[in-house]
Structures are given as structure tokens and as C-alpha cells.
Amino acid sequence: MATSAQVTGAWILVILYMGITLFFVIRGALKIKNISDFAVGSITFSPVAVALSLAASMTSAATFVINPGFIANYGISGIISYAIVLPFASLVSLTVLTKSFRKYGQSVKALTLAQWIGERYKSRNYALFMGFLAILLITFIVLIAVAITMVLSKALNADPYMVLIAVVVFIFGYMMFGGANSMVYTNTIQAIIMLVVAVILLTSGYQHFSEGIGQLMRKLAAIDPVLIRATNPGSPLFRDFYEIIFAQLIVGMAIVVQPHIITKSLLLKKESDVNRYLVVAVAAQLLFFLVVITGLYARITFPDLMAGGVPLKNDAIVPTYVMHIFSNGNLAVVVGLIVVLGLISAGISTLEGLIQSVSTTITSDIIKPLTGNWLKNDRSMIVLNRLVIVLVGLITIWLSWKQIASPKLSVGIFAQNGVYAYFASAFVPVIFGIYYKKMKAGVALTGSVVAFAVHFTVYYLMPLLVNSYGWSFGLFTRYLEGPVRNPAIACSTAVVISTITVLIMIMIDKSKTQKPIQA
């Protein structure tokens, strides 16, 4: 429970945050003339601002709120996976893909990833297919909404359901008008706050290192020896190095093809800004990824994962830790409120990007193609886009409350399942579309369909066969057992099989074209 001083301070903080945000939203909204302005902006931003916006939207509340909960539950194995392997793969992938994607994105004037794929392969049907798949990103919107709700409800001692509604109404409401122009302003401010908060959270457990890292390890081992091991066989996410390293390397490489990440570079107006943009973005994200270490501090603080005699759900561990650790003394309360602001910023920064990209995709890549010439001007497109945001907001409230009331371990599992399926399907068309000029639309589409089918087969069908009918898939069976499964296994399998499928199709196609003509 937050103290009265924490609650009062949190209310003041929320009101100030809302006021500053609305100022920038109004400023950005005045610049919007068409759907392109909403999607990629009409203002020239500095590469530092865009880089901080990317860092804020790429790391998100999953990194600051949800993932540290997994670390509190499962220990060092999670640190290896989420703070070392995933950052390495994703940041290398971001650096390699950004320049190539940006060049092609600018040449075809793509507003969304679905449009980029449609233009690259000269296929409206492919763009429509990817547009429908983008609806899966709503699962990530739900994760962010739940994370923000958990933080605010703890800080305000308020009913989570009422907080959820207020959060969705406010954020979705201002995103109906501001679009990319306001988003870069607000994301930059949020990223700066997140940098400060990342340092505060990482140093909040300094007392555990007074005698070196060995002291931290001894404290964790006293709670449960498995917490300091490189693998955690009893966890659903970090059982072995295949799960911790291989699967996360594949996920990290593919994660960059999410539309709110890879299209961010299109906000840069000059090619000379790209290198500076990447340096700042990578440096900020490395710091953000390390925040999951806070989960270890939380586990030492709550060794039995109980607070006030009540078991802590995974997604409530970090908010509860923050309220507990920063509750004694006026200075501690102030610092704690800054941390709360940072946790909220981590969520809102990504939520804005997702709302903008999902709504633009539904409007431009699904509704517009299916309605022919019904949408005749920019005004009608903008109005429709706002109605889409309202619909997505209502869906978010419904799904988020279900995840708050009865999650399967964490909303993170729910979100990963949807998001991973999306970028597994997008991986082949983006990678081959950039680096293989002769890639055919039919081959790329086959890769996307295979990835989509394999992901959900591995996540739903194969576990059903194992758990209900006793089937065995050899060593792979262990990843299919139990009520909670790791979406990274399904995603990495989907990416590998779809990539192999496409490579085989390319080789067959080459052999046909190179076959000598018989006399």
C-alpha cells in the first residue's frame, strides 16, 4: 500500500504529466494535414530526438515493469536471456537493417510496414495480408495498458479497473489528434525521464553489492539456489541454453521488423543523420535493457514473493518494490515518484507508437483497399483513423481487464504470443526484400504464411497433442508441456522453418531458370 504522501504526490505528478502531454499534442496536431503527417510526421526532428523516441518505444514497459518480474521469479537465467542475448541480437539487427529499410521506405513513400511490403513486392494482396496480421499487435498494446495500470493503481491506491479505463481514454484520446508529430515530442521527454529512472532503479539495490557481486549471489542462493544458476529447469522460459540463447537470438533479430520500430528511421529527413541516430538509440537502449536487474533486488526484498501476506503476481512485483523501497522519508518519496513517472513513461512511449502504427495500418492497409474509392480525401482518412483508434481502445480495455483479473503467469506471455507471431511472419519479406533483389512475391508470401502457421501450430496444436493425447516430439516435447509455454520457442521455430522454406524455393527456382535448353 502506498502511503498518504505517496498518493498525494502521485496525483500531483499525474496532473502535471497530463498537462505537459496535452500541450505537445496540441502543438503537434496543428501540423497534421493528412494521414501521412499522422503516420510519419510533418516536422523535421533532430536525430537525437528521433533516436530517444526509438529507444523509448522499443524498450517499453515490458522492459521496465513486466520482464523484471520474470527475473524476480527465475533469477540469473533470465538476466542472461533478457539483459544480454536479446539486446545483443536486437541492436545488431537494428543497426544492420535501418539504413537499407530507410532507403527503400523513402523511395516508395511507405507509411506502414504493410505498405512497404506491398510496394516492394508489387502486391496489394500481400499488403492486405500483412495489414490483417498487424492486428496481432493489439496484444502488445494490452501489455502496456496493464503495466501502466499496475503502476498507477499501486501509486494511487486506486481500483485497477477505473485506472485502466482512465489510462486508455486519456492516451488513446490524445493520440487521435497528435499522431507522429506529438509522439516524437512526448517520446523524447519520456526517454529522458526513463534514462534518469533507469539509473535510479539500477542503483536502488546498491547495498547488496557492498561486499561485491558475491554478496548479491549469496543472498539469492539463500532464497533458492536455482536463482544463481545459468539455467532454471523449473521455469517455463529459461530451462536450457536453447531457450535462453538460441531462441532469444532469433527473436532479437526478428523483433526489429515491428512497424513502430523499423519505420522510426523514416522520421529522419537527411541521410547524414542516420549514424548519429543509431549511436544514441543503441546507447540508450543498452541502459534500458539492464533495468531487468531490478528484479533481483525485488526478489531479495520479497524473498517469498509476498507483500503484506498477499502473493505477488508477476506483473505487480516491480510496482510493489518501488512503493516499498521509496517510502521512508520525504526525499525517498520524491525519488519514488520520479521512478513511478519513469515507469509510466516507459509504457506510454511504446503505447503511443503502437496506437499510431496499428491505427494507420488498419485505416490505410485494410479499410481503404477494401472500400475502393469510398475514402476520397485526406479528411475522411483522418476521421476514419480516429474511429479506428476508438475501436482499438475499447478492445484494449476488454482484453486488459481479463489479463489483470486472471493472467497466465503474466500479461507478457499473452503479448509475446501475438507480437512474436506478427514479426515472425514479417521477417522473411523484410529481410529478403532488402537483400535479395530477385525475391518474388509468391515466395515471400509463402514464407509469411508458413511462419504464421508454424508459430501457432507450435504454441497451440502441438501442446494439445502432447498434454491431451500423449504425443511425443522427442527433445522438443519439454517445451510443449505445462499450462504456460514460451512464445520465443514458437517464434524462433517459425522464423527458422519459414526461412529454410524460402531458401529451398529460391534454389528450386534458380535451378529451373539455369537448366540448359535441350536440343
Average of per-residue pLDDT across 401-417: 90
Under 8 Å between Cβ of 94 and 278:
yes
Q: What is the pLDDT of residues 112-138, one digit of tens each?
A: 778 888 888 999 899 999 999 999 999
User: 10 vs 266, which has greater pLDDT?
Assistant: 10
Mean pLDDT: which of 10-19, 159-168, 336-345 is highest?
159-168
- Mean pLDDT value across the chain: 86
Average of per-residue pLDDT across 362-386: 78
Residue 232: pLDDT over 50: yes
Q: What is the pLDDT of residues 447-490, one digit of tens each?
A: 999 999 999 999 999 999 999 888 999 889 999 988 889 999 99
Residue 326: pLDDT over 70: yes
CA 250 from centroid of its chain's CA atoms: 15
| Residue 519: predicted pLDDT | 45
Amino acid letter, residue 519? A
Domains of the chain: 4-29+46-404 (1.20.1730.10)
Residue 85: pLDDT over 60: yes
Separation in Å, CA 352 to CA 40, 45, 175, 298:
13, 17, 7, 28
Mean pLDDT: which of 33-37, 105-109, 228-232 is highest?
228-232
Average of per-residue pLDDT across 57-80: 90
Residue 393: pLDDT over 60: yes
CA 447 from centroid of its chain's CA atoms: 23
**Residue 472 burial (10 A CB sphere; 0-12, 13-18, 19+):** exposed
| Residue 392: predicted pLDDT | 95
Under 8 Å between Cβ of 63 and 289:
yes
Q: What is the pLDDT of residues 144-196, one digit of tens each?
A: 999 999 999 989 999 999 999 999 999 898 887 755 555 566 667 777 888 89
Which range among 92-101, 143-152, 407-416, 493-502 shows the weakest confidence by mean pLDDT?
92-101
For 21-119, list the strands marked E by DSSP: none
User: 389 vs 56, which has greater pLDDT?
Assistant: 389
